[in-house]
Amino acid sequence: MEDGIHRSLGLTDDELDSIIAILGREPNHLELAMYAVMWSEHCSYKSSRVHLKRLPTEAPWVLVGPGENAGVVDVGDGIAAAIRIESHNHPSAIEPYQGAATGVGGILRDIFTMGARPIALMDPLRFGPLDDPRSRWIAEGVVSGVSGYGNSVGVPNVGGETVFDETYKGNPLVNVLCLGLLPTERLVLGQATGVGNLAVLLGSTTGRDGIGGVSVLASAGFSDEETDSAKRPSVQVGDPFEEKRLIEACLELLDAGLVVGIQDLGGAGLTCATSETASRGGMGMDVDVTQVPRREEGMEPFEVMTSESQERMLAIVEPEGLDRVLEICRRWEIRASVIGKVTPGPATGDADGGRLRILDGWDGEVLADIPAASLHEDAPLYQRPCVAPPAFDEGGRVLVTDQPVPQSDDPGAELLELLADTRWVWSQYDHQLFLNTVEGPGGDAAVLRLKHPATNADTGRGLALTTDGNHRWCAVDPRAGTALTVAESVLNLACVGARPLAVVNCLNFGNPEHPEVMWQLSEAVDGMAEACRAFDIPVIGGNVSLYNESLGADIDPTPVIGMLGVVDRLERRPPGVGLVDGGRLLLVGVTQPEVSGSRWARNRGHRGGHLPVLDHEIHLAVAGVVRQLVAGGLVAGAHDVATGGLGLALAEMAVRSGLGVSVARVADAAELFSESPSRVVLCVEPDLLTTVENVCQHAGAPVSRIGVAGGDRITVKGLLDVALADAAAAWADRIPAALGSGTAQD
Amino acid sequence: MSRRVGVVLFPGSNCEQDVLEGVSLVEGQPEVLWHGDATVKGVDCVVVPGGFAHGDYLRPGAIARFSPVMSAVAEFAAGGGPVIGICNGFQVLTEAGLLPGALQKNRGLKFLCTTVPVRVEATDTPLTRSADKGAVLRIPVNHFEGNYTCDDDTLARLNAEERVVLRYVENPNGSIDDIAGICNEARNVVGLMPHPERAASELLGSSDGLPLLRSLVA
């Protein structure tokens, strides 16, 4: 074999030695290509796995934890919820529309692979600054891609985030979360069992698109524009119409009980799907590569086995059910080809079995012959060096700075620059399909009616979903910042009356070969683990995206938390981020006048310091009482205090309701813009004021009266006084002015 | 005996379940009409629902109009049977020649999902007979190609014959003369871009679509 070819496929010399030891011989080119994709960072989590083990993953309601295609929890009434979050950062940086579109397609397959019908998507998006033309191009393309694919495939997009920041210039973060529902008894796993069972490839033809996507794109950083555009052929192309028919066909196959196991084809394509189903079932598999329908002529076996062509699934079926499988696929106009057969393995007591063999015709030449499990279980595990950057102190936890605390020149103007309505993004997404969306995008969390996926019967309960990330907090202190992020999600759910059930996470970090990046990752995992343990929320799935860097600079660490909650009695719409005229404003929780890590401080050039402290007990008390008040219909408006502090929370409530606020008892800009946790602003009808205060005091949640809603100005006594109309214009115009007018404008 | 409402299902349709649910809510008897079957199975009313029939490839509705079920729908309409096209269904009906004009890309060239006020302009159609003339209803729209257009003569006829069934109070997409929905000459075929099935519950934000859904089963 050609010397050094493994390196061009992304394998190290040591990794090649491991492969030789596993096989007892030199691998051929096809085998090498298969190991290269499966042992890539993207597929193997080889840098992060040692850390992820520290996350709490168990709770009585968890049906499937991390490691499967999606996490699954029991949500009662015979219904299970499958949830997953993923990143499509690198493809989206190169080819924004298709990168984002195929991100949606991929995560949908992860969900219906579990037997669940996808019912909601969320897209946490992070782009470079709005004044950077390339970042604007990426943002427009990504939003169009999410819109174009998601709307057509017919899954509502109910929320997410849109963040613009210098740190994502050149390397946007395009994360996508999907939630699906299934009858609890229909849960299926991606495994192959039963010697002689058939592996049927469903969906699209296989082409040269996306070859090496996981190893070429997702497991390396970006350098300059010329080499980046050369990577464009590694980005896949999506077809939502094919995916829609694939979803319907697969769910019908599952309903009919015709499937033993099913697995989507995502990163690493057929190599991953065949080896994963075989090794999960403790079996082997013979794959006849000539049976794979091709999109173009002259494709080499290694191209067929590593292509990431979209909209494909691998179903394991019994031979006697094949005709019915083919009939259902014909009805949905889905291509179906038998490409593999399950062979004996450890599960059948055959210690020498469990081989994944790639054949040139069923009785033809053996092109590859490797232990299926070795592609997963023997993937290298790296305990990469973790070193806090020199500027960090106090046991390497905190970015200590000698910068003076920033001073405010004009709090009113500084508040206006924080306002941005993300409607430009989410009005391009269908967020209402399936008639579940009680609270859609733009609020603290989405709320969906919970209907039984088989009978459509309304349970009278709801599910709530939120995603949250804050790179500014995590840049200052990745551990505390991640814990604060989890805490924010808990409060977002509380504001819509929901209690948390499960967390999924998307860890977006820089280059793992940089010791400080591994330190950030390790710290973030510990922060997430601490907070999830304190709040008793299991982590049931996650995705790690590394090599988010551009021109040698790593992004700020950006762990994104997706949190699923349940509303036990969904009798009314949550109050939402709004005000009523004459309503009294209450602040639940206590402000720490600490601005480190805040958006306001970063805008003043301040990086570092100590993040505000998270007190788990107070946080649970605040979240609990807010949930109780919202569920009881005692508040007219509720909004958690997060990015932008109390000032931005009040301003958002004002612009969204078209009512001013008059607030007192805020000492200074630090109190106005501090992002200290465990705080919620409530708007309460005057006659309910003392009731609400009593409920808070009884629950041990600090509460204070801070003002009143009404009028046409946003006033904070002694600090700022701005016209509501100016705030509303700043809020509404910021994104459309930069990204082109929405459809509602002339 | 409640009225039977057939809901056409093309590959790529995605609002069919919502329409089935909406029809059930107003105590109609909904059933699916498969695109490959050239029959409307004797239903009392046909709804062509929203979605992306055949992926909207080539042009929305351009492929769906050739489906076997569409010849049955045309025959049903010719016999005076009520046919309602919602969103993508409206696009299919214009492509099939059952309604005049066409739906082009929105002004602003973006997909738009939002709730808009629409005014009921005519109540002698199978979509609006249970609604009040002049009533303003808050109903979601959800489309990329919802910008209704037609030639001047057609527009003049639509207005003269009072065939504009729904008008936007705030035009979201650039439709000519604020048109949100129209009917054919015989007034039994109606197409509209807004989704009444999405406005059937206060919990979801609006129940203003209920009079339209009730009209289907009245």
Which residue numbers of B are catalytic?
A: 87, 195, 197
| Contact residues on chain B for A437, CB-CB shorter than 8 A | 204
Residues lower than pLDDT 50 in chain B: none
Q: Is B56 on the interface with A (CB under 8 A)?
A: yes
- pLDDT score, position A746: 35
| pLDDT the model gives residue A569 | 96
Nearest chain B residue to A249, by CA: B11
Q: How far apart are CA A151 and CA B50, in angstroms?
A: 11
Residues of B in contact with A239 (CB under 8 A): 55
**B32 in A contact zone (CB under 8 Å):** no
Minimal CA–CA distance to A82: which of A52, A55, A121, A47? A121
Beta bridge pairs of residue A704:
A587
Q: In the numeric block, which tokens belong to residue B6?
A: 């057939």
Strand runs (DSSP E) across A184-277, as ranges? 198-203, 261-264
Please check whether residue B21 touches A, CB under 8 A. Answer: yes
> Using a CB-CB distance cutoff of 8 angstroms, which residues of chain B are in contact with residue A243?
none
Residue B194 belongs to domain with CATH number: 3.40.50.880
Cα–Cα nearest to A521, from A666, A513, B73: A513
CB contact under 8 A, A239 and B55: yes
User: Chain B contact for A452, CB < 8 A?
Assistant: no
List CB contacts (< 8 A) between A434 and chain B: 17-18
Backbone angles phi, psi at A393, to 5 degrees: -140, -175
Interface predicted TM-score (ipTM): 0.97
- Of the candidates B37, B3, B14, the residue with the CA atom closest to the CA atom of residue B142: B14
pLDDT of residue A215: 60
Phi and psi at B181, nearest 5°, equal -160, 145
| pLDDT at residue number A401 | 64
Closest Cβ opposite residue B113 in set A431, A570, A741:
A431
Cβ–Cβ below 8 Å for A154 and B203: no
Contact A456 B17 (CB under 8 A): yes
pLDDT at residue B1 in the model: 67
Measured between alpha carbons, how far is A352 from A354 in angstroms, rounded to an integer?
7
Non-local (6+) Cβ contacts of A208 within 8 A are A233, A295, A296, A299, A303, A307
Q: Please tell me the predicted confidence (pLDDT) of residue A743.
A: 36
Q: How many domains does chain B have?
A: 1
Position A678 scores a pLDDT of 98
Between CA B86 and CA B100 the distance in angstroms is: 15
pTM beyond 0.80: the answer is yes
B194 touches chain A (CB under 8 A): no
Nearest-5° Cα angle at A117, A116 to A122: 105
Which residue among B113, B114, B204 sits closest to A435, beta carbon to beta carbon? Answer: B204
Q: Which of A42, A51, A606, A639 is catalytic?
A: A42
Two tokens, residue A88: 């499509």
Chain B residue numbers touching A435 (CB-CB < 8 A) = 18, 21-22, 197-198, 200-201, 204
CA distance A119 to chain B (A): 12
Low-confidence ranges of chain A (pLDDT < 50): 396, 742-746
Bridge partner residues of A499 (DSSP):
A566
Q: Given A244, A437, A746, which is nearest B204 (Cβ)?
A: A437
Range of the domain at B54: 4-217
Chain A environment of B55 (Cβ under 8 Å): 152, 239-242, 244
Q: Within an 8 Å CB–CB cutoff, is residue B112 touching chain A? A: yes
Exposure string over A108-137, b if 16+ CB within 10 A, otherwise e: bbbbbbbbbbbbbbbbbbbbbebebeebbe
Chain A residue numbers with beta carbons less than 8 Å from the beta carbon of B19 are none
A732 touches chain B (CB under 8 A): no
Nearest chain B CA: its distance from A546 CA (Å): 32
CB contact under 8 A, B112 and A743: yes
pLDDT of residue A551: 82
